[in-house]
Structures are given as C-alpha cells and as structure tokens.
C-alpha cells in the first residue's frame, strides 16, 4: 500500500511518501488511521483530530468506512485551500 | 480543458485560443484568482501552493465534466498554478463559453466554488510571523452547498 501525506500532515509525520504493509485486519480507511496513529508520537499528533483530515483512496475522496487493500494508493491531507 | 502548471498564463492568449473559430459562442465568462498581500490582518510576502499530482488533474476533470453536464458549454478551461507565488500573481483561471451569458456566468461561478473545496491544493503563506498553512473556510463549503440545491439549467 502506498501512502502519501500532504501539507501539515507531511510536516507532522515527517513523511511525504511511503510503502506500508499493514496487517490484514486493517481493511477500512478508519482502521488504517487507527493503525497509523499507533506508530509513534508524530503520527498520534498528526491524526489526533480526525475531522481535520481528508483521505483519498486511489485519488478519490473516501470515508472512514470505505475499504482499503494492498496495492491501493492512500493519501492523507487537510481540507483543501486552493483557488 | 485542464492545466496544472507552475508557469504564469496570458489571459488574452488563452481566451483567444478558447474561442477561436467557434461562432456559436455568445458569452465568455472568466474568473482569475490573484494572490493578496494580506491575510487575517497580517502581511504576506509570498505563498507556496502544494498539490497532489494525479488526483488534482482527476478532480479538475471531474469538476469540468459536471459543469458541462449542467450547462450548455461550448468550451471551458481551468488553469491552476502551483509553487511559489507573490502578491499580485495569478493563481487560477476558470473560463466558460456558451451561446448564452447566463450559462457562462453560472458555470464559471460553479467551477470556482467547486474547485476551492474539492481540488487538492494547499496554500502555505509566508507571513511576517512565519509560514502557516491556510485553513479551509466554512464560507467556501457554504458556497458549494448552494449549487447542490439548485437545479441544472441545461434545459432552460
């Protein structure tokens, strides 16, 4: 699974992009966020406020109940502010 | 048409290319977003726009397709820049051309409202007190909600 982090999520986690292999029970966006949050203080801090985070799976917006699987591209970022 | 680029754009040249040879176009509506020199009462020296290559193009194409589905457009163009920009610089261009002005106006307004809440761009402002990410505004979400309620005017 390819993970991408943007804006302040990249700064807080210290990661722009990584390959991860979460355990098989991590099958939804919500479970993935829970799993990531336990990886260390930077992640716990970055993911503390779930309402402030948007998730895209394979470049489409996703909800916490949506599925994730090996091979997916998952991106985490704050609400967008372009335009 | 969608373009995501670091380079600036020439409004006149873009409009000429967009409408060239199409005499069904009766109205062309253009919105250009510029970098302001103030935010929350504090001066801004520059801002850096980050985006998500791949998803950005996908979302902009989706937004454009939605506009074409809702209004009778002859042509449309979205250009969004990324990278470091300074006050006065152009950030974004949205242009819509239609046989009728109302469709051009509404589609243009729809596109910029929708883009501001859906396209994966983030602004990092370089202020006197340091760099800070711009927070999403509720008013931008409210602007999009308006378009959810209104019926398409394609058949008007």
Is A82 domain-assigned?
A: no
Q: Does B3 touch chain A (CB under 8 A)?
A: no
Beta bridge partners of residue B75, listed in sequence order: B97
Say what the pLDDT of residue B150 is: 62
**Predicted pLDDT of residue B119:** 97
Which of A81, A40, A83, A61 shows the shortest CA–CA distance to B134? A81
pLDDT for residue B90 is more than 90? yes
Q: Between these two residues, B108 and B145, which has the higher pLDDT value? A: B108
Whether residue A65 is contained in a domain is answered as yes
When divided into structural domains, chain B yields a total of: 1
Q: What average pLDDT does this structure show over B76-91?
A: 97
Tell me the torsion sign for CA atoms A13, A17, A31, B62: positive
Asked whether residue A71 is domain-assigned, the answer is yes
Q: What is the CATH number of the domain that holds B69?
A: 3.90.1170.40
Q: With contacts defined as CB-CB under 8 Å, which chain A residues touch B55?
A: 56, 59-60, 75
pTM of the shown model: 0.92
Q: Give the integer Cα–Cα distance in Å for B116 and B124.
A: 15
The domain tally of chain A equals 1
Range of the domain at B38: 2-155
Q: Judge whether A60 lies within some domain.
A: yes
Would an 8 Å CB–CB cutoff place A80 in contact with chain B? Answer: yes
pLDDT tens string B113-129:
999 999 999 999 998 78
Candidates A10, A23, A19, A15; CA nearest to A72 is A19
Q: Which CATH number goes with the domain that contains A67? A: 3.10.20.30
Task: Give the mean model confidence (pLDDT) for residues B71-89.
Answer: 97
A78 interfaces chain B, CB cutoff of 8 Å: yes
What is the ipTM, given to two decimal places?
A: 0.94
- Mean pLDDT, rounded, for B129-146: 88
Nearest Cβ partner for B136 among A8, A59, A79: A79
Task: Taking residues A55-83, report their average pLDDT.
Answer: 97
Q: Cβ contact (<8 Å) for B136 and A8?
A: no
Residue A11 belongs to what domain range? 2-77
């Amino acid at each position: 699974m390819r993970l991408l982090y943007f804006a302040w999520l990249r700064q807080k986690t210290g990661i722009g992009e990584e390959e991860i292999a979460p355990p098989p029970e991590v099958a939804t966006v919500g479970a993935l966020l829970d799993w990531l949050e336990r990886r260390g203080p930077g992640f716990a801090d970055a993911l503390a406020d779930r309402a402030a985070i948007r998730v895209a799976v394979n470049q489409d917006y996703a909800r916490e109940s949506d599925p994730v699987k090996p091979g997916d591209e998952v991106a985490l970022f704050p609400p967008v502010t372009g335009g | 048409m969608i373009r995501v680029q670091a380079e600036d754009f020439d409004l006149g040249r873009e409009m000429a290319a967009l409408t060239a040879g199409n005499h069904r176009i009766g109205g062309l509506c253009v919105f250009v977003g510029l970098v302001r020199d103030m935010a929350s009462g504090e001066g801004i020296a520059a801002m850096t726009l980050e985006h998500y290559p791949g998803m950005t193009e996908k979302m902009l194409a989706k937004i454009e397709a939605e506009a074409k589905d809702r209004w009778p457009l002859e042509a449309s163009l979205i250009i969004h820049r990324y990278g470091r920009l300074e006050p006065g610089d152009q950030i974004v261009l949205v242009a819509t051309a239609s046989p009728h002005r109302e469709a051009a106006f509404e589609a243009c307004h729809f596109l910029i409202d929708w883009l501001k809440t859906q396209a994966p761009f983030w602004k990092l402002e370089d202020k006197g007190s340091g760099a800070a990410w711009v927070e999403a505004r509720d008013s931008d979400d409210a602007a999009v909600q308006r378009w959810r309620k209104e019926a398409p005017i394609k058949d008007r």
